[in-house]
Amino acid sequence: MHIVPRKPFALAALLLSLLVFGSQPARAQNPASSSSAPTSASSTQDPAQALVSLNKQLDDIKGTLSSKSTSAPLNTLRSEAGTVQQQAQQWLETLTPQMDGVQARLTVLGPAPAAGALPEPANVSQQRRQLTRDKSKLEGEIKQAQLLTQDAAKLTTQIVQTRNEQFQTQLTTRSGSPLTVGFWSNLAQSFPDDSAHLKPIASALAQGARDAWQPANRLPWILCLLGALLLIVPGRWLAERTLLALARHYMPEGHLRRSALAVTFTLTVTLSIGFAACLAYIGYNWNDTLDEDIATFAQSIVRSVFFSAFIAGLGRALLSVRHPSWRLPGIADSTARDLRWFPWLLGSAFLLLGIVERLNNLAGGSLPVTICTRAMLALLISGLVGAALMRAKRARKASAHEGGHQPAKHALWVGAMAGLASLAVVMAWVSVFVGYIAFGFFISWQMLWIGMIVASLYMLTHLQHDLLATLLSPRSRSGMRLQASFGIAAGALDQSAIVLSAVLRILLLLVAVGTLLLPFGSSPHDLFSHIGNVFSGLQVGQLTIKPGAVFNAVIVFAIGLVIVRTVKRWLAEQLLPKTSLDLGMQNSIVTLLGYVAVVIVFALALKTADVSLQSLTWIASALSVGIGFGLQAIVSNFISGLILLAEQPVKVGDWVSMPGVEGDIRRINVRATEIQLSDRSTMIVPNSQFITQNLRNVTHGNALGRVKLSLPMPLDTDAAKMRQIMLEALNANTATLPTPAPTVTLDDITSSAMTFTGVAYVHSPREASTVKSELLFDILARLSKAQLPLSTPQSMIVRNLGPLGEDSPAAPG
């Protein structure tokens, strides 16, 4: 039992490896995956030796490809070629910075002395020679790494093409029909040999069971089996109840709780059954008693159990028979009840498919046995799908008949999927009975695979939409925190949720479409390699688009905008209010610094995306033509806005007067300025008008307000007394300034009146109208008290006498 203490580490490593569904055991033993890795061996292994080793591995793969053409080796060869490409790329990324460092040191040393010039010091000359040698060596290694990367990529593409050709050949190959006698006679002839091939496997499995029952392994095996049973039955039930209680307690009511519970219930079924299979395998092979082939076979079965449990859990969560209110799709309760066992049956069919396929590969099954098993599996899977479609249709009709109303209409894509599935079932059965068993098996597998992908996409789409709608809702706790912390408007949060949900939906759809390609002979590595090659080779002019660099640039730009917004808010609310600057100057500083900061952030994002200004020269040329024809006014207004912010002939809060416009400046934007008129309406004025037209800034430079009063008095008024009354009123008002002192002058004398004009100054032009009204009320009261009436206009009335001496209507004269 001295091995037992090491088992926790083996258990953890095995669980992690088994979670990777697409990994193959052969890759773990692939020598290319453990050698020449720059991340771990770059500090101890010479790059030249590592690149030579990778080149040798690539030559071995090419030789193997030219001599073998079966599908299983092609998968292994593709993985090995992809590993060589990845490691060569890693060496290239490791050597390039070293080359830049050597070049920078040579640049610091400068050029070598010319012939006839004074020689440089010996240590500098020796350092220059050493750096030159290092540069030449690195250049050779970088070129070799680049060639290796390109050759490996070409070889991977060639392997994929070869595999696709073999795949298409298999689909068009016709074998015997199960309805013919020859089909079964061939199976009977090969049955003894296949039985003989299966006996060693059965013996090895039985021997593994006997070894697991040995005293040294018996207790761990029993404990692992008990743990597996506890995981499947009470463990899953307890996990679901715990998650349900947590969701009810911590998760807000709404769509998010429903979609989150659907995902968690899918994971509980997948992980409970999958980890139970892991525990059973660990107990069965506790002290590594199994042969390598049998252990590989058992591990592949465990991976199939994971996938089968995922199919069953996914269907169970979507049907949600026990909790109809949590059901994501619009399925009637009767339909869900009729379909409740089909997810488990389809998962079991996939598990059976995995066991049979791997058993045939391990035992080297004959062609008749392989054809027969695939025919039976094709009929089983397509039959289950067809039965589920018929059961759903029958339940829907029964529900409509009982309710006396038409059944609810489904979405167009649901009807299309159902129609295609029905057609695929018919094609699979016809293909099998006609003799195209490979094609029928392919269609059956595609139905299972596409159904799983579509169901997963449907669930994840609902989850991300509900999650974003909840987190970014203006009424949620997180939304209110975002509004309070960053000053984001409620409408902006709703718009962000919609935009992010659409982006994630598109990404999920792209991933789903790419995943659907996997059964056609591709793999995730092929998919992402193809996407990377397409984008890495996509050039617009001199600009090369790299998806990773673009993604990093978007992140840098988003983080930069958040930082700029935070700094602007800190300046506007904390720092600048504590200074002696007026409000207009504070707003101008915040706005101008915001523009500069956004330009800097945009430049950093371009640098992160590996975009140089030289590569954008064509864009600048196109923009210059556009500016010359149609963007002159926009650019003029933009430059004028910058001038207004820098020189500040006007600022926020100023009272300005222009031809046809008079009001207070409320905001200076990049293109135009907002002016609030006296009726509280807002007029948008282009910035260029502030530069090119005459402008009167009433409040510029702390200007004083001027109050002017003109009062007409009768000719018999005592002028000195009138002047004294007006001066007393002007001086008595608390808003008027003593300096300049108020004045009263006699401006005009006419045949009917003489006009007295009083002038006083106040602190601001905005006070002039209010103070003028107060002064008029005060002067009128003083004049009334002194019994000095204001002059009234005289009118003349002309009357015309009629023939009988009656007055005609009077006309004012």
Higher pLDDT, 713 or 82: 713
Q: Please list the alpha-helical segments (H only) found in 404-523.
A: 412-434, 437-471, 477-486, 490-516
Q: In what order do the strands lie in the sheet with 655-658?
A: 682-686, 672-676, 661-668, 655-658, 696-697
Pairing label, strands 682-686, 672-676: antiparallel
707 membership: H or E segment, kind and range? strand 705-713
CA separation for the pair 348, 344 (Å, rounded): 6
pLDDT of residue 26: 35
In 3D space, the residue among 70, 80, 103 whose CA is nearest the CA of residue 29 turns out to be 80
Of 4-8, 173-177, 764-768, the least confident: 4-8
pLDDT in tens, 418-475: 888 899 999 999 998 988 888 888 899 888 888 889 999 999 999 999 998 888 888 8
Which amino acid appears at position 596 of this protein?
V
| 798 — pLDDT class (breaks 50, 70, 90) | low
Q: Is 746 helix (H, G, I), strand (E, B) or coil?
A: strand
- pLDDT at 163 exceeding the cut of 70: no
Top mean pLDDT of 159-173, 409-423, 741-755 is at 741-755
User: Which phi and psi angles does 291 have, rounded to 5°?
Assistant: -65, 165
CA separation for the pair 379, 430 (Å, rounded): 10
The answer to whether residues 348 and 316 touch, using CB atoms and an 8 Å cutoff, is: no
| 235 — pLDDT class (breaks 50, 70, 90) | confident
CA separation for the pair 160, 523 (Å, rounded): 9
| 15 — pLDDT class (breaks 50, 70, 90) | very low
590: how many CB neighbours lie within 10 A of its CB?
Answer: 19
CA separation for the pair 381, 353 (Å, rounded): 9
Query: Please, what is the angle between helix 437-471 and helix 122-171, to 10°?
Result: 120
Interacting residues of 747 by C-beta distance below 8 A, sequence separation 6+: 710, 755, 756, 757
Tokens at residue 23, please?
A: 């990994």
In 3D space, the residue among 364, 421, 372 whose CA is nearest the CA of residue 392 turns out to be 421
- pLDDT at 330 exceeding the cut of 90: no
Q: Nearest 5°: CA angle at 674, between 672 and 680?
A: 160
The residue assigned the tokens 């207009």 is 584
Residue range 554-572: average pLDDT? 87
Residue range 711-730: average pLDDT? 89
pLDDT of residue 12: 39
Which amino acid appears at position 107 of this protein?
T
pLDDT of residue 170: 67
Of 175-189, 575-589, 692-706, the least confident: 575-589
Interacting residues of 177 by C-beta distance below 8 A, sequence separation 6+: 183, 432, 433, 434, 435
In 3D space, the residue among 548, 651, 561, 634 whose CA is nearest the CA of residue 597 turns out to be 561
CA separation for the pair 64, 563 (Å, rounded): 55
Residue range 786-793: average pLDDT? 79
CA separation for the pair 342, 145 (Å, rounded): 52
CA separation for the pair 714, 721 (Å, rounded): 13
| 744 — pLDDT class (breaks 50, 70, 90) | very high
Q: What is the pLDDT of the chain when averaged over all its residues?
A: 79
pLDDT of residue 538: 54
Strands (E) located in 565-704: 655-658, 661-668, 672-676, 682-686, 696-697
Q: Is 760 helix (H, G, I), strand (E, B) or coil?
A: strand
- pLDDT at 254 exceeding the cut of 70: yes
pTM attached to this predicted model: 0.61
pLDDT of residue 6: 35
- pLDDT at 706 exceeding the cut of 60: yes
CA separation for the pair 305, 232 (Å, rounded): 12
- pLDDT at 618 exceeding the cut of 70: no
- Proportion of the chain above pLDDT 90, given as a percent: 12
Residue range 659-676: average pLDDT? 84
What SS3 string covers 263-325? HHHHHHHHHHHHHHHHHHHHHHCCCCCCCHHHHHHHHHHHHHHHHHHHHHHHHHHHHCCCCHH
In 3D space, the residue among 597, 539, 606, 600 whose CA is nearest the CA of residue 564 turns out to be 597
pLDDT of residue 761: 92
In 3D space, the residue among 502, 513, 428, 501 whose CA is nearest the CA of residue 471 turns out to be 501
pLDDT in tens, 50-59: 888 888 888 8
| 302 — pLDDT class (breaks 50, 70, 90) | very high
CA separation for the pair 659, 655 (Å, rounded): 14
- Proportion of the chain above pLDDT 70, given as a percent: 81
Query: Please, what is the angle between helix 181-212 and helix 215-230, to 10°?
Result: 110
786: how many CB neighbours lie within 10 A of its CB?
Answer: 13
Q: What is the separation, in whole angstroms, between the first and last Cα of the chain?
A: 130
The answer to whether residues 266 and 272 touch, using CB atoms and an 8 Å cutoff, is: no
Q: How many Å is the maximal CA-CA distance in the chain?
A: 150
Query: Please, what is the angle between helix 367-403 and helix 181-212, to 10°?
Result: 90
Interacting residues of 30 by C-beta distance below 8 A, sequence separation 6+: 76, 79, 80, 83
Which amino acid appears at position 389 of this protein?
L
The answer to whether residues 385 and 328 touch, using CB atoms and an 8 Å cutoff, is: no
Higher pLDDT, 766 or 67: 766
| 631 — pLDDT class (breaks 50, 70, 90) | low
CA separation for the pair 672, 676 (Å, rounded): 13
pLDDT of residue 9: 35
Residue range 198-218: average pLDDT? 87
- pLDDT at 40 exceeding the cut of 70: no
Tokens at residue 647, please?
A: 């020189």
619 membership: H or E segment, kind and range? helix 617-629
CA separation for the pair 164, 789 (Å, rounded): 110
Higher pLDDT, 306 or 667: 306
**Dihedral through CA 522, CA 525, CA 529, CA 531, nearest 10?**
70
CA separation for the pair 660, 683 (Å, rounded): 11
Higher pLDDT, 248 or 163: 248
The answer to whether residues 559 and 567 touch, using CB atoms and an 8 Å cutoff, is: no
- pLDDT at 534 exceeding the cut of 60: no
Distances (CA, A) of 428 to 327, 391, 443, 694: 31, 19, 6, 83
In 3D space, the residue among 349, 530, 533 whose CA is nearest the CA of residue 441 turns out to be 349
- DSSP code of residue 735: T
Q: Please list the alpha-helical segments (H only) found in 172-254.
A: 181-212, 215-230, 236-250
Q: Is 797 helix (H, G, I), strand (E, B) or coil?
A: strand
